[in-house]
Structure 1
Amino acid sequence: MELGKQSTYQSKYNPAKLFGIDRKAKRREIGITGDLPFHGFDVWNHYEVSWLTPKGLPRVALAQIVVPCDSANVIESKSLKLYFNTLNNTSFDDANEVENVTSRDLSICAAAPVSVSLHTLDNPISAMFGLPHGTSIDNQEIPIDHYQVDRQLLRTCDERINETLHSNLLKSNCLVTGQPDWGTVSISYDGHRIDPASLLKYIVSFRNHEEFHEQCVERIFKDIWDQCAPSRLTVGARYTRRGGIDINPIRSSEPIPEILNTRLVRQ
């Protein structure tokens, strides 16, 4: 794994740059050892994709990459960046060939089918921004002094409710480099009302926690599922980009019918 290490720029196609990290170890930490308690996927947006035409003319595009949550491996993010760099001086017949080659290579790394779709810079989908779903819980004047993740902070009320909440205050640190990761988390559920103050304290408790994006979202899902016992739960996070890539995991107790990938203002 090259994350946290000095890397040499390589611009000729080399799928060996890709590195997969087994999902099982971190899932065991949160009590997942058998069937997954959720459905979902990780949506990656890569903003620095380029290759050459057969005549040597550079092309650029944005890539949407979708990794299913039941893949054996997480694709390590720096390895994905280094891999895409190896396309920069490599010739392809067209964008379809780039999609096919990268989908094949990423699927091998993740040990599951991974989709890659390229979007040109004049495509409206490339410029779409949206707002987080639901009600913000961030403007609560409450004291907070807990900055290590703690599921015991979560509390519920007797009232039953169907609601969607979000917070822009999710911050954790990279498991390898210790560098900060910033995100917006959205939580949609049916069940006993989650006390908003307790939920905000819980989200802020990730502030010094070290874990990858995908692992943080799965931990949030599992903690809310165990502590609050909702009948339905969906947790999604949209992270700011690092190295030209943003990662947006979503986990749900029910199958997710479509892939929604609307960027937020910080993305």
Structure 2
Amino acid sequence: MTTPEQSQLGKPAPYADRYDASLLFPISRRPKREEIGLGETLPFFGADLWTAFELSWLTPRGKPQVAIAHVTVPCETPNIVESKSFKLYLNSFTNEPFAGADEVRDRIRADVSEAVWRGAPSQAGVGVRIVMPEQFDAEPIHELDGLSLDRLDIECTQYTPAPELLKAAAGEQPVTETLVSNLLKSNCLVTGQPDWGSVQVRYSGPQIDQGSLLQYLVSFRNHNEFHEQCVERIFMDLWTRCRPTKLAVYARYTRRGGLDINPFRSSHPAPAPTNVRTARQ
């Protein structure tokens, strides 16, 4: 099993100038899931939505092409791909000739699928969509929908995850709400570099105390964990402590190295959100 410490994170890494699928570095989801009490059967559905803004290759005649790639990785995969390795992998396309965007899409789909499903008895594909420059104008910017928790004037004193802060009105009439905050911040598990994000919580069930939820989200401020792991931790803390009948947690993190990662987890089958970036992304 590979570990984050074995990856290229925090280490000098030369850029490959020709296509190299071996640069992708899968990391098992299992250890961090076991840490929050998850076993083989997951209590959620969802996906990790990646956006790659630095993608380029050559035509057969040597002319550079540029594009944006949207990549969707199901949360059922046994592995994630470490983001620096993904950046190095995408940069290895830079001097490689391809017949067209479809060939690039198919190559990314095959390589990322192999990495995230590595070690599993059965495999499925990941979703890949290539956006060419003539489509750039159609790429929207939109903030997460919902009632902003950031409007609340509260005191925050805890900056490592504090699920004990969460409170819900168990004895009152259940509600359905969508709450959002732009104050999510955590740090890279290996390098400690800051990761900035926005988070949306949709739920039905006992009303969650909004002030305590905001304090809880702020408590991730000095926490070291990958994006996907943070969202699963938030989901499980809300699921076990507030006991909603339905829950969905969606975070959009600002890009680093030309990549943003946007995990979505839902207690019920639901389509993944449209991969639309926020203003900070």
Shorter-chain TM-score range: over 0.9
1:258 CA displacement: 4.6
The answer for unaligned runs of 5 or more in structure 2 is 1-6, 118-123
Does the CA contact (< 8 Å) of 2:206 and 2:242 recur in 1? yes
- Does 1:79 pair with 2:85? yes
- Does 1:257 pair with 2:271? yes
Residue deviations 1:204-246, cap 9 Å, x none?
A: 0000000000000000000000000000000000000000000
1:257 CA displacement: 2.5
- Does 1:43 pair with 2:49? yes
SS at 2:206 equivalent: strand
Where does residue 152 of structure 1 map in the other structure? Answer: 164
Where does residue 218 of structure 2 map in the other structure? Answer: 204
Q: For 1:211 and 1:159, locate their aligned partners in 2 and report how far apart those are by CA, in whole Å.
A: 35
Backbone CA RMSD of aligned residues: 1.0
Structure 1 stretches of at least 4 aligned residues deviating more than 6 Å after TM superposition: none
Q: Give the aligned residue type for 1:123.
A: Q
- Does 1:240 pair with 2:254? yes
Where does residue 128 of structure 2 map in the other structure? Answer: 116
Alignment match of 1:25 (pick from 19, 31, 36): 31
Q: Give the aligned residue type for 1:184.
A: S
Aligned length: 267
Where does residue 76 of structure 2 map in the other structure? Answer: 70
CA 160–114 in structure 1, closer or farther in 2 if over 3 Å, else same = same
Q: Give the aligned residue type for 1:38.
A: F
The answer for unaligned runs of 5 or more in structure 1 is none
Q: For 1:220 and 1:98, locate their aligned partners in 2 and report how far apart those are by CA, in whole Å.
A: 35
Q: Give the aligned residue type for 1:166.
A: V
Q: For 1:115 and 1:198, locate their aligned partners in 2 and report how far apart those are by CA, in whole Å.
A: 36
Does the CA contact (< 8 Å) of 1:3 and 1:78 recur in 2? yes
Does the CA contact (< 8 Å) of 2:178 and 2:201 recur in 1? yes
Where does residue 16 of structure 2 map in the other structure? Answer: 10
1:159 CA displacement: 3.6
Task: Give the fraction of aligned pairs with identical amino acids, expressed as a percent.
Answer: 50
CA 101–246 in structure 1, closer or farther in 2 if over 3 Å, else same = same
Q: Give the aligned residue type for 1:43.
A: L
Q: For 2:136 and 2:67, locate their aligned partners in 1 and report how far apart those are by CA, in whole Å.
A: 13
Residue deviations 1:105-136, cap 9 Å, x none?
A: 00000014212111012315653011211100
Does the CA contact (< 8 Å) of 1:186 and 1:235 recur in 2? yes
Where does residue 177 of structure 1 map in the other structure? Answer: 191
1:47 CA displacement: 0.2
Residue deviations 1:180-218, cap 9 Å, x none?
A: 000000000000000001000000000000000000000
Matches within 5 A, 1:83-232: 83-111=89-117, 112-124=124-136, 127-157=139-169, 158-232=172-246
Q: Give the aligned residue type for 2:68.
A: L
CA 211–166 in structure 1, closer or farther in 2 if over 3 Å, else same = same
Does the CA contact (< 8 Å) of 1:120 and 1:126 recur in 2? no
Q: For 1:250 and 1:110, locate their aligned partners in 2 and report how far apart those are by CA, in whole Å.
A: 17
SS at 1:5 equivalent: coil
- Does 1:57 pair with 2:63? yes
| TM-score, normalised with respect to structure 1 | 0.98
Q: For 1:114 and 1:50, locate their aligned partners in 2 and report how far apart those are by CA, in whole Å.
A: 20
SS at 2:151 equivalent: coil
| TM-score, normalised with respect to structure 2 | 0.93
The answer to which of 83-92 and 121-130 deviates more is 121-130
Q: For 2:168 and 2:85, locate their aligned partners in 1 and report how far apart those are by CA, in whole Å.
A: 41
